[in-house]
Amino acid sequence: MTESDSVIEIKNGAATLSKELLDSCIHCGLCLPACPTYLATGREMESPRGRIYLLSKWQEEGGELAPRAIEHLESCLGCLGCQTACPSGVKYEAILDQARPHLAAHRNWLTRQIMRFSFGQILPHYGRLKILGIMLRAVQVLKLDSLVANLPWVKSGPPLLRKIADFQMFTPVVAKHIPLAKKSWKAGAKIGSAKLFSGCVMDIFYNHVNHAALRLMVRQGTVVEVPPQTCCGALAFHAGELDIAIDLAKQNIDLFAPSTDNIVVTSAGCGAMLKHYGHLLSDDQLYREKAQSFSLRVQDISENLALGKFPAVANTGQSDCKSHMVYHAACHLAHAQGVRVQPQELLSAAAATTGAHLYDLPEAEHCCGSAGIYNLLNTSLSLKVLERKMNFIEDSGADVVVTSNPGCLLQLEAGVKARGLNVKVKHLAEALDDAFGDRTS
């Protein structure tokens, strides 16, 4: 994306759609096989070209967005698989980014207020998140979550109550939270230093993944610091709440400003958002250059680890030797960040060392249906998308599925549980740590 396709055009305080971006779509249909919602429904309006057509007609005719049009637009996962597949180079991400504030303005008042409160008052405050994590862990230990979710008046009640059952479905087992060391290193030669972006949801639900990433980076000789930080703003941005996303972006830029170290991220969604700051703040005179410099420092954990070397001897006591592994590429890693080679190379090295078998997963870059909080807002369609993904996983005979985003982990774990499969879902850092990790360091 260039500066001319700025994420959001602002005119008179309101977001507008770029006619140039909309007209770049020639409606050839080559994006259809790459669109999970189209594959799940078979409906033209659930495809990228269908959604672009709806936005083009709205721009031409003016007035209010029709409720059915909003429904079709809100059903987009934002996975960007269509953008990768498009031979004409249509910038679907920029089109979607410009449409999101309009969709937010049409959202149910109560739903929007709950979302804004969560994005602005819960996710950015780690102390509050940790308290919620402790409470959720207590609920799970007492099995109150399953009890409440299975109550007849909850499962068949009004939408707000049914969301309790959805929340229970897409919630992982919360382990005891172990704080990350503010600075980690080992004796001997060093290859450099880095800052770890721990994430909010990532560190509460998948705290062990951040610890695995720390061990791997330190073992390669990196001095790793975990500085003060806040939520990346991805969920707020994708929900069209730009003011919250922009405020969080500025906070992170200021918090990481004293250093020029690379910023390593374990969540593909967070990484994509952090790399997007340069575009998000491209019209801000004070933050434009700082945001661009910040985004250039961001690395996915796979990008960082691929620069170093692991020892030839595996940690066979911890690894799933002889396991049958497949890799599900998180949308915000493959499509949004274009990071494809490094995860595959790292997993191939782990498999070669441990004796595990790494196989290709059909449609590995197709969305699993998580897409941030999409599975909570559009549960039915999310599960249809997941069904196709789970069919491929089950047919592959895999006993380990590796991915690199907390949303994907949540979604795939829900799919495995629903089907009763004997399959482990692991983050890439966790899989590599099992193979190469040194528990004594």
- Phi and psi torsions of 378, nearest 5°: -130, 60
Hey, do 3-105 and 324-436 end up sharing a CATH topology, with the first three levels equal?
A: no
Predicted local confidence at residue 361, as pLDDT: 96
Question: What pLDDT sits at residue 217?
Answer: 95
Query: Strand 183-184 and strand 222-225: pairing?
Result: antiparallel
Full strand arrangement of the beta sheet holding 324-327: 357-359, 324-327, 400-403, 424-427
Distance between CA atoms of residues 117 and 126, nearest Å: 14
Alpha carbon distances (Å) from 316 to 208, 356, 426: 19, 11, 17
Q: What is the pLDDT of residue 135?
A: 87
Residue 196's nearest CA partner among 256, 120, 275, 126 is 256
pLDDT at position 170: 78
CA atoms 150, 154, 159, 161: torsion sign = negative
Q: How far is CA 115 from the centre of its chain?
A: 17
Q: What confidence score (pLDDT) does residue 154 get? A: 61
Give the pLDDT of residue 119: 96
Q: How far is Cα 77 from Cα 330, in angstroms, rounded to an integer? A: 12
The answer to whether domain 324-436 has CATH 1.20.120 is: no
Residue 1 is predicted with a pLDDT of 43
- Residue 275 neighbours by CB distance under 10 Å: 23
Domain boundaries, the chain: 3-105, 109-169, 183-305, 324-436
- Cα-Cα-Cα-Cα dihedral sign, residues 195, 199, 202, 207: positive
Each residue's pLDDT tens digit in the chain (441 positions)? 443 344 444 343 334 688 899 999 999 999 999 999 999 999 999 999 999 999 999 988 888 888 999 999 999 999 999 999 999 999 999 999 999 999 999 998 988 999 999 999 999 999 898 898 888 888 878 777 666 666 676 666 666 666 666 777 778 888 888 999 999 998 888 889 999 999 999 999 999 999 999 999 999 999 999 999 999 999 999 999 999 999 999 999 999 998 899 999 999 999 999 999 999 999 999 999 999 999 999 999 999 999 876 654 445 444 445 689 999 999 999 999 999 999 999 999 999 888 889 999 999 999 999 999 898 889 999 999 999 999 999 999 999 999 999 999 999 999 999 999 999 999 999 999 998 866 544
| Model pLDDT, residue 60 | 86
Read off φ and ψ for residue 324, nearest 5 degrees: -105, 105
Check residue 260 and give its pLDDT: 92
Cα gap 317→435, rounded to integer Å = 9
How far apart CA 186 and CA 119 sit, in angstroms, is 37
Domain covering 3-105 in this structure, CATH number: 1.10.1060.10
